């Protein structure tokens, strides 16, 4: 490694072209960024917000690439072929290598559907649009995000899209506003920052993943590069020391003070972004000369790109193969293993390709060809539906059950319309039952529909994500702006429709009652903003009883379901793991204490539906005469544990939502075959 550090000036093409001098401190800053990200993903304390390392990378990239493009456009030496040949040399060799290895591991460790989804992410990453792909299907902080083997490439997508637009933008500015480049760039950066704040309120997932709301971070780096190239002051002396020290403090603070509930990027991202820019600007400070330029940090910085690529797929496979969450020790060891792979990748893949002498046009053609060939691997796996013939037919049966999921009647976030299609709301002139609630209710929909049909009854389902069936209250979710109002509107419509329908004789109410207390930022609140804010439990008690009485007054029977238990492992993944010997062996290594028997898991692996909110629901149901309370947990659990499978197919399609198989199991006997009896036995 020492020799590699000594050779850094001659092999690190990008830095050499971005600045007259190689800057070891920028490699050290890269090290701070990648260490923050890797330790955050490993779950090591106190790196609660190590994800800000990506924001540091954005500023570095904006500074280096901005400097290259600005210098060459103003010298009239910029060539798109040269620029993209350099980008291809820098990005593609390691990315292609990690992509192929990830797909190969997937063939050994993933079920067909898992492999199909993983290979899709790989393909989008190679095409440079993975951030758009993940925006459409994944929240970075969602519980299952760590299962996507290529999620880390969302940031590469943003950078690659920036590389497409930024050179064109500078060329246009050189032609039309050559003397106002800096103020125009500053204005565009401010606009992007403002857009980031607006999108956080309206579409936070889009704000996280898309270029328009992230461009300001790259813009800060580009502004600094342009300012310095145009003769801006280089900080030295006491000023450099103050800026360097304060900037490092900002970076270290940003790594520990945020969490997954912090609105991001927006104002929060300004702390690491400005800290990174300050360190780049204070090149002559002690922090830059002695801390960031220290050989260990510079060495890590040199391999930071490869480490960023390698660590996440390996950690994702650990999550997939573990019963519960992998231990920090396991993820820490994987971080070390991935660093070794990163060094080998940098030494034998990155460096040789970056220093290879080849005409730019020829290099670009060859990289385009290599990219096209490498895309055949993930596209082939995706088009063959994940090579299902690798597995036993039982795996296909499990995945088919999961694919049916919670049905088609659940209204998603942002949707407050009732689904009155024939599949969700029968309109024929016969007695019928209605189901109202959130996604936990929707998971019961298929089983309750089947029970109703068996009893000769019609069926209506009005369900909306994260929207408990309450009259006068709603669930506030700051991470989903506008949801509280949409939920309130949906419930008003759903409850009014059921109250007005004389053919509906029985109403079933259920939901993920404990959700508002398990997520710190969420709460049950009154739909009237002028009503004084009460505790969630009080709001739930009052409005659930109000809802029950409204239906009883309309002459309807009311049944309230207690929630199902939630598992600390994924029942579907566990069912599949039991059918895959290699994956099962890895699970024994990473989760040696985990064991199941006959489709049941011990109580230690279960979160029972006995939280205070669940108890409130039971008390509120039993407090209103005429309301029937049914505990779904009692149908699945006993003193030793809870069932998650019938031994062949899972009762859940994730850790908390019942599958069709599970819904049918817990609802046996709910409706008698004699359709004249419209209440529970």
Q: What is the pLDDT of residues 522-534, one digit of tens each?
A: 889 998 887 878 8
Residue 10 has pLDDT above 50, yes or no: no
Whole-angstrom distance, CA of residue 622 vs CA of residue 460: 25
Please give the order of strands across the beta sheet that includes 458-464.
410-411, 458-464, 432-437, 504-510, 557-562, 627-631
pLDDT band, very low/low/confident/very high, at 413 (cuts 50, 70, 90): confident
How would DSSP label each residue in 50-107?
A: GGGHHHHHHHHHHHHHHHHHHHHHHTT---HHHHHHHHHHHHHHHHHHHHHHHHHHHH
In terms of pLDDT, which residue wins out, 405 or 295? 295
396 part of a folded domain:
no
pLDDT band, very low/low/confident/very high, at 417 (cuts 50, 70, 90): very high
239 part of a folded domain:
yes
| Tokens found for residue 346 | 């940098």
Spatial neighbors of 125 by CB under 8 A, at least 6 apart, are: 95, 99, 150, 153, 156, 157
Parent domain of 67? 2-390
pLDDT of amino acid 569? 92
On whether both 191 and 259 belong to a single domain, the answer is: yes
Q: What is the mean pLDDT of residues 487-512?
A: 95
Residue 18 has pLDDT above 60, yes or no: no
On whether both 64 and 107 belong to a single domain, the answer is: yes
Q: What is the pLDDT of residues 148-207, one digit of tens each?
A: 999 999 999 999 999 999 999 999 998 899 889 999 999 999 999 999 999 998 888 899
Residue 239 has pLDDT above 90, yes or no: yes
pLDDT band, very low/low/confident/very high, at 554 (cuts 50, 70, 90): very high
Whole-angstrom distance, CA of residue 462 vs CA of residue 410: 7
pLDDT band, very low/low/confident/very high, at 647 (cuts 50, 70, 90): confident
Q: In this structure, what DSSP letter does residue 462 have?
A: E
pLDDT of amino acid 426? 85
On whether both 283 and 253 belong to a single domain, the answer is: yes
On whether both 419 and 383 belong to a single domain, the answer is: no
Q: How far is CA 143 from CA 146, 398, 520, 632, in A?
A: 7, 21, 15, 24
Whole-angstrom distance, CA of residue 469 vs CA of residue 494: 9
Give me the CATH number covering residue 425. Answer: 3.40.50
Q: Mark which of 331, 359, 390 sits at the end of a domain.
A: 390
pLDDT band, very low/low/confident/very high, at 673 (cuts 50, 70, 90): low
Q: Mark which of 338, 365, 390 sits at the end of a domain.
A: 390
In terms of pLDDT, which residue wins out, 254 or 680? 254
Residue carrying structure tokens 């290599």: 370
645 part of a folded domain:
no
On whether both 248 and 381 belong to a single domain, the answer is: yes
Model pTM? Answer: 0.88
By DSSP bridging, strand 641-643 and strand 600-602 are antiparallel
Q: What is the mean pLDDT of residues 566-595?
A: 92
| Tokens found for residue 678 | 């419209």
pLDDT of amino acid 222? 95
pLDDT of amino acid 430? 87
Residue 672 has pLDDT above 80, yes or no: no
On whether both 313 and 411 belong to a single domain, the answer is: no
- Decide: 484 and 475 in contact? Cβ < 8 Å: yes
Closest CA to 659 of 562, 587, 594, 570: 570
282 part of a folded domain:
yes
133 part of a folded domain:
yes
For the chain, report the end-to-end CA distance as a whole number of angstroms.
74
Of the listed ranges 97-106, 123-132, 412-421, the least confidently predicted one is 412-421
pLDDT of amino acid 11? 44
User: How many whole angstroms from its chain centre is CA 676?
Assistant: 48
467 part of a folded domain:
yes
pLDDT of amino acid 152? 94
Domain count along the chain = 2
- Decide: 486 and 414 in contact? Cβ < 8 Å: yes
pLDDT of amino acid 32? 97
- Decide: 350 and 93 in contact? Cβ < 8 Å: yes
On whether both 362 and 419 belong to a single domain, the answer is: no
Q: What is the mean pLDDT of the chain?
A: 90
596 part of a folded domain:
no
Q: Mark which of 347, 362, 390 sits at the end of a domain.
A: 390
Q: What is the mean pLDDT of residues 90-111?
A: 96
Tell me how long the chain is.
Answer: 681
Residue 675 has pLDDT above 50, yes or no: no
Phi and psi angles of residue 509, each rounded to the nearest 5 degrees, phi first: -120, 130
Q: What is the mean pLDDT of residues 531-558?
A: 92
pLDDT of amino acid 598? 84
On whether both 177 and 128 belong to a single domain, the answer is: yes
pLDDT of amino acid 611? 83
On whether both 252 and 350 belong to a single domain, the answer is: yes
Would you say the C-alpha torsion 191, 194, 198, 201 has a positive or negative sign? Answer: positive
- Decide: 647 and 399 in contact? Cβ < 8 Å: no
Residue 221 has pLDDT above 90, yes or no: yes
| Dihedral over alpha carbons 543, 548, 552, 553 (to 10 degrees) | 0
pLDDT of amino acid 520? 74
Q: What is the mean pLDDT of residues 546-572?
A: 94
On whether both 176 and 267 belong to a single domain, the answer is: yes
pLDDT band, very low/low/confident/very high, at 680 (cuts 50, 70, 90): very low
On whether both 295 and 427 belong to a single domain, the answer is: no
Residue 141 has pLDDT above 70, yes or no: no
In terms of pLDDT, which residue wins out, 408 or 214? 214
Residue 121 has pLDDT above 50, yes or no: yes
- Decide: 229 and 70 in contact? Cβ < 8 Å: yes
The neighbour count for residue 365, using CB atoms within 10 Å, is 13
On whether both 181 and 225 belong to a single domain, the answer is: yes
Of the listed ranges 14-23, 64-73, 311-320, 420-429, the least confidently predicted one is 14-23
* Element spanning 506, H or E: strand 504-510
199 part of a folded domain:
yes
Spatial neighbors of 549 by CB under 8 A, at least 6 apart, are: 624
Of the listed ranges 127-141, 458-472, 599-613, the least confidently predicted one is 127-141
* Element spanning 432, H or E: strand 432-437
pLDDT of amino acid 142? 60
């Amino acid at each position: 490694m020492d020799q590699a550090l000594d050779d850094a000036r001659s092999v690190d093409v990008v830095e050499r072209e971005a600045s007259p001098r190689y800057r070891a401190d920028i490699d050290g800053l890269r090290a701070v960024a990648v260490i923050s990200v890797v330790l955050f993903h490993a779950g090591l304390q106190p790196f609660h917000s190590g994800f800000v390392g990506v924001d540091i990378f954005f500023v570095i990239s904006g500074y280096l690439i901005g400097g290259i493009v600005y210098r060459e456009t103003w010298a009239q030496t910029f060539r798109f072929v040269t620029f993209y040949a350099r980008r291809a040399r820098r990005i593609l060799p390691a990315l292609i290598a990690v992509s192929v290895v990830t797909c190969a591991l997937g063939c050994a460790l993933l079920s067909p559907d898992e492999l199909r989804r993983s290979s899709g992410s790989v393909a989008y990453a190679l095409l440079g649009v993975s951030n758009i792909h993940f925006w459409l299907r994944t929240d970075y902080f969602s519980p299952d995000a760590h299962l996507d083997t290529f999620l880390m490439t969302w940031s590469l997508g943003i950078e690659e899209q920036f590389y497409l637009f930024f050179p064109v933008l500078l060329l246009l500015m050189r032609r039309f506003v050559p003397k106002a480049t800096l103020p125009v760039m500053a204005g565009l950066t401010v606009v992007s920052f403002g857009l980031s704040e607006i999108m956080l309120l309206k579409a936070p997932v889009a704000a996280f993943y898309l270029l328009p709301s992230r461009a300001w971070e790259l813009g800060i780096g580009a502004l600094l590069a342009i300012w310095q190239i145009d003769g801006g002051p280089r900080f030295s002396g006491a000023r450099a020391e103050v800026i360097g020290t304060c900037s490092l403090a900002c970076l270290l603070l940003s790594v520990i003070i945020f969490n997954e509930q912090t609105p991001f990027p927006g104002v929060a991202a300004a702390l690491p972004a400005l800290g990174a820019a300050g360190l780049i600007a204070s090149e002559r400070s002690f922090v830059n000369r002695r801390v960031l330029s220290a050989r260990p940090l510079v060495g890590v910085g040199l391999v930071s790109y490869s480490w960023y690529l390698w660590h996440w797929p390996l950690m994702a496979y650990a999550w997939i193969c573990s019963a519960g969450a992998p231990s920090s020790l396991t993820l820490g060891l994987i971080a070390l293993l991935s660093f070794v792979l990163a060094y080998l990748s940098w030494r034998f893949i990155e460096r040789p390709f970056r220093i290879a002498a080849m005409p730019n046009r020829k290099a670009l053609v060859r990289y385009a060809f290599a990219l096209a060939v490498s895309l055949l691997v993930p596209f082939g796996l995706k088009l063959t539906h994940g090579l299902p013939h690798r597995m036993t037919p039982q795996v296909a049966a499990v995945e088919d059950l999961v694919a049916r999921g919670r049905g088609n009647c659940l209204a998603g976030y942002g949707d407050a319309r009732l689904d009155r299609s024939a599949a969700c709301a029968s309109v024929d002139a016969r007695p019928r039952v209605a189901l109202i609630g959130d996604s936990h209710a929707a998971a019961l929909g298929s089983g309750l529909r089947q029970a109703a049909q068996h009893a000769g009854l019609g069926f209506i389902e009005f369900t909306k994500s994260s929207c408990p069936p309450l009259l006068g209250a709603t669930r506030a979710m700051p991470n989903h702006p506008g949801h509280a109002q949409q939920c309130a509107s949906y419930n008003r419509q759903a409850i009014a429709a059921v109250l007005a329908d004389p053919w509906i004789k029985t109403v079933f109410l259920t939901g993920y009652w404990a959700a508002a207390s398990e997520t710190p930022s969420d709460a049950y609140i009154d739909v009237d903003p002028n009503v004084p804010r009460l505790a969630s439990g009080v709001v739930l008690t009052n409005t659930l009883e109000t809802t029950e009485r409204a239906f009883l007054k309309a002459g309807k029977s009311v049944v309230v379901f207690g929630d199902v238990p939630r598992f600390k492992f994924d029942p579907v993944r566990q069912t599949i793991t039991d059918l895959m010997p290699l994956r099962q062996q890895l699970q024994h290594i990473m989760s040696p204490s985990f064991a199941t028997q006959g489709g049941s898991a011990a109580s230690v692996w279960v979160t029972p539906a006995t939280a205070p909110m669940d108890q409130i629901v039971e008390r509120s149901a039993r407090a209103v005469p005429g309301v029937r309370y049914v505990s779904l947990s009692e149908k699945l659990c006993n003193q030793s544990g809870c069932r998650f499978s019938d031994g062949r197919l899972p009762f859940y399609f994730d850790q908390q939502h019942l599958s069709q198989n599970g819904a049918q199991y817990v609802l046996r006997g709910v409706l008698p075959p004699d359709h004249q009896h419209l209440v529970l036995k």
